[in-house]
Structure 1
Amino acid sequence: MLKNKKLIIGFSFVIQIIMLKVLANFPEFVERYYSNGLYVFISKLMRYSFGWLPFSMGDILYTLLAVYVIRWFVLNRKRVLKDTKNFSLDILSAFSIGYFAFHMLWAINYYRLPLHKSLQINDVYNTEELVTFTTQLIAKSNTIQVALTGNDSTKVEFPYSKTELLDMVPQGYHKLAKTFPHLDYQPQSLKRSIYSLQLTYMGFSGYLNPFTNEAQIDGLLPAYKYPTTSSHEAAHQLGYAAENEANFIGSMAAMHHKNPYFNYSGYTFALNYCLNELYKTDPETYERLSKTINEGIKKNFREVRDFWNAYENPLEPAFKSSYNSYLKANNQAKGIESYNYAVALWVNYFKTNPL
């Protein structure tokens, strides 16, 4: 009986894959009944359950799971050859259960309606529109940088601890929710990961644990990146699984925040993406506009580059490649490149909502 159960559970993995392929053709159904239905309940339940803890329960569970898996393989190593069929079945059934939980608790959000459709804005733009918006972003960012430092050449230093910055994140979402009620973020569950060093070497600034709905932030990141990184992960908690959409929503939450340091982080985050896109499409205009950016902003950009450069290692490209494959396997056809879809969202949203 136990063997039959394992067989059924194991091969249900194939059925799950087929069902997800079918579900990908019905984003409106996912949007209505899962993302804005069942998932809202699941997400809040887990954030109420684990958000109050001062440490990451998800990181601890991952640690215990890793220990258990290693121990299991050690104890069952002889079965690889002696009982290959049942050994493989045990692994397949365990993987099938994990795959089911991963999607039911969060990842079905990958199949929801694209954000530009739910916002009813265009998802394409031309170079002229990009130049216009980038020029506006530069002016806005320059103004905030001078207001915070008193001159145009000083890097913005954040007068808050990283814990304080995490606690401030919901304020931006509360204000954003006045325009988009479904983006109200409460309760919060933002934690500094106990594996921050490992995350940094992998090249990631944070991640969402789908099994506890805790947002894990790299504790080593410069404070300048905390408002947008933590707001980005909060967007994942709200059910926006696509990285490009979380970038847009997270930056918008920072831009709408009542705190000018959050505003600075949000606007310069969008500016950096737009500059990268402009460099690809119109290098000459990129060079011209770059000269109009305050030196203080460039120092903050340099601070982030120096941080990541200090942790470069031969394995980082492999981690990025794996994540790229993961995104493509989860309905993100362009993989990591799809991050730049956020530029289209910014350009088109701010056409009718001036900075």
Structure 2
Amino acid sequence: MPIKKNYIKRKRFWAGSLLAQFLLFFIFSKTEITVRFFERFFEWQKSLHQKIFAHSPFSVGDVAYILLAIIFIFFLIKILNKKTRNAYLFKSVILLNILYFIYQLFWGMLYFQEPIIHKLPKEEITLEETKALTVKYLRHCKQLRLLVKEDKDGVFKVEDLESVKKEILKQQRRLPGFPHPKSSNGINSLKPSLFTGIMSYTGILGYYNPFTAEAQYNAALPATYLPFTFAHESAHQLGYAREQEANFIGYLIGKNSENKELKYSTYYFVLKSLLNSLAEKNPDFVKQIIGEYSPGMKRDRAAEKRFVKEHEGIVENFFGFTNDLFLKSNQQEGSVTYSYFVDLMVRYERYSGVK
């Protein structure tokens, strides 16, 4: 009987511990001083983890995810068995406690940093201003498209991915102090995902692993996506948790780059974001701009559409739905919303006088 009582006490303790963590981190998220502590802790943690894991030729974080998936499947099988159910429910709660604590400590609290937009001018963005920017970035894209390489089908290609990664690290160190206050350690920890085949069917271009500070990308993506995806994921490694803020930092990295492939991919992303933000308000203007794409840009767009068409389905819809819920639960807009990024970019261009 004492053994059974101790077991019940331990089970209640770990269940209560998980609930206490939810409450504690919620309180932390509302307190500026604790959020700043987690920001500073992240700087130390990410540098340490990147020094440990960056030199591995494969994603250590992906291997850890595979092992965790095996453990959870094993636990689920045991939970379905009445004889072992209680024991493995208990073990599952312990594991969830540990994972949740590490996740919040290493990454989760960064979603509650002061939004970048609070540091930029607050004047209203007009439709005409957005349209003017769209025309500007169309012009930039057409000019850059003439300078990059093509494959045998006339589609944009990236000749040297490693040089793009090195350029991103260089541009990280050149980011303006305002509104970017974070530092780069210059460590290359951008790696192709071990789940590339699956990722193509999820709509996920890349992801950051908070447990190893590695950034993974889908190596099967069309070339137009890749350089900017690198820049976006590298922004997560700097400590920008919100998706559209990582897009903004990726934009700052790419727009001043000397690498034409990175710059074209960045400007092409900006152009698509502007068009997406205008799609409902002014669909005729969007059609007009797409019609003015250069022949090379039209081939790139067709290649992207083929890739999406070949990999669309239930899996993509499921991951899109769950990702949308995750973003909204962390005070972000949905996964297909570009307005926050566009707001950041337009306000920054006003502030900095970008031409």
Question: TM (normalized to structure 2)?
Answer: 0.88
Contact map agreement 1:16 1:100 (CA 8 A) in 2: yes
What letter corresponds to residue 30 of structure 2 in structure 1? N
- Give the superposition deviation at 1:214: 0.7
- Give the superposition deviation at 1:274: 0.2
2:105 match: 104
Of 335-344 and 224-233, more deviation after overlay is shown by 335-344
What letter corresponds to residue 282 of structure 2 in structure 1? D
2:64 match: 61
1:137-152 mapped onto 2 (5 Å cutoff): 137-148=137-148
2:341 match: 342
2:28 match: 23
CA distance in 1, matches of 2:242, 2:177: 23
2:43 match: 40
- Give the superposition deviation at 1:47: 0.9
Instruction: Give percent identity, aligned residues only.
Output: 27
2:350 match: 351
What letter corresponds to residue 113 of structure 2 in structure 1? R
Question: TM (normalized to structure 1)?
Answer: 0.88
1:13 match: 18
**CA pair 12-124 structure 1, distance change in 2 beyond 3 A:** farther
Unaligned 5+ segments in structure 2 are 1-5
**CA pair 341-100 structure 1, distance change in 2 beyond 3 A:** same
CA distance in 2, matches of 1:199, 1:100: 27
Contact map agreement 1:123 1:344 (CA 8 A) in 2: no
Contact map agreement 2:200 2:220 (CA 8 A) in 1: yes
Secondary structure of residue in 2 paired with 1:34? helix
**CA pair 201-24 structure 1, distance change in 2 beyond 3 A:** same
1:98-177 mapped onto 2 (5 Å cutoff): 98-117=99-118, 119-122=119-122, 125-148=125-148, 155-160=155-160, 162-176=161-175
Secondary structure of residue in 2 paired with 1:208? strand
Contact map agreement 2:208 2:214 (CA 8 A) in 1: yes
CA distance in 2, matches of 1:113, 1:123: 19
Contact map agreement 1:193 1:219 (CA 8 A) in 2: yes
CA distance in 1, matches of 2:255, 2:345: 12
Contact map agreement 1:193 1:217 (CA 8 A) in 2: yes
> CA deviation digits over 1:62-107, x for unaligned, max 9?
11222233334445542xx346555433322221221111111111
Size of the aligned set, in residue pairs, is 346
What letter corresponds to residue 19 of structure 1 in structure 2? L
**CA pair 147-175 structure 1, distance change in 2 beyond 3 A:** same
Contact map agreement 1:116 1:123 (CA 8 A) in 2: no
1:282-321 mapped onto 2 (5 Å cutoff): 282-321=282-321
- Give the superposition deviation at 1:301: 2.3
1:196-207 mapped onto 2 (5 Å cutoff): 196-207=196-207
- Give the superposition deviation at 1:122: 3.0
**CA pair 222-178 structure 1, distance change in 2 beyond 3 A:** same
Secondary structure of residue in 2 paired with 1:222? coil
1:242 match: 242
**CA pair 292-76 structure 1, distance change in 2 beyond 3 A:** closer
Unaligned 5+ segments in structure 1 are none
**CA pair 188-149 structure 1, distance change in 2 beyond 3 A:** closer
CA distance in 2, matches of 1:238, 1:351: 24
Q: What CA RMSD, in Å, does the superposition of the two structures yield over aligned residues?
A: 2.5
**CA pair 212-176 structure 1, distance change in 2 beyond 3 A:** same
**CA pair 236-124 structure 1, distance change in 2 beyond 3 A:** farther
Of 126-135 and 337-346, more deviation after overlay is shown by 337-346
Contact map agreement 2:29 2:35 (CA 8 A) in 1: no
CA distance in 2, matches of 1:98, 1:181: 29
Contact map agreement 2:38 2:105 (CA 8 A) in 1: no
2:90 match: 89
1:226 match: 226
Secondary structure of residue in 1 paired with 2:225? helix
More helix as a share of residues: 1
**CA pair 226-149 structure 1, distance change in 2 beyond 3 A:** closer
> CA deviation digits over 1:291-335, x for unaligned, max 9?
333232232222222112111122210111111111222222x32
Contact map agreement 2:207 2:233 (CA 8 A) in 1: yes
**CA pair 109-178 structure 1, distance change in 2 beyond 3 A:** closer
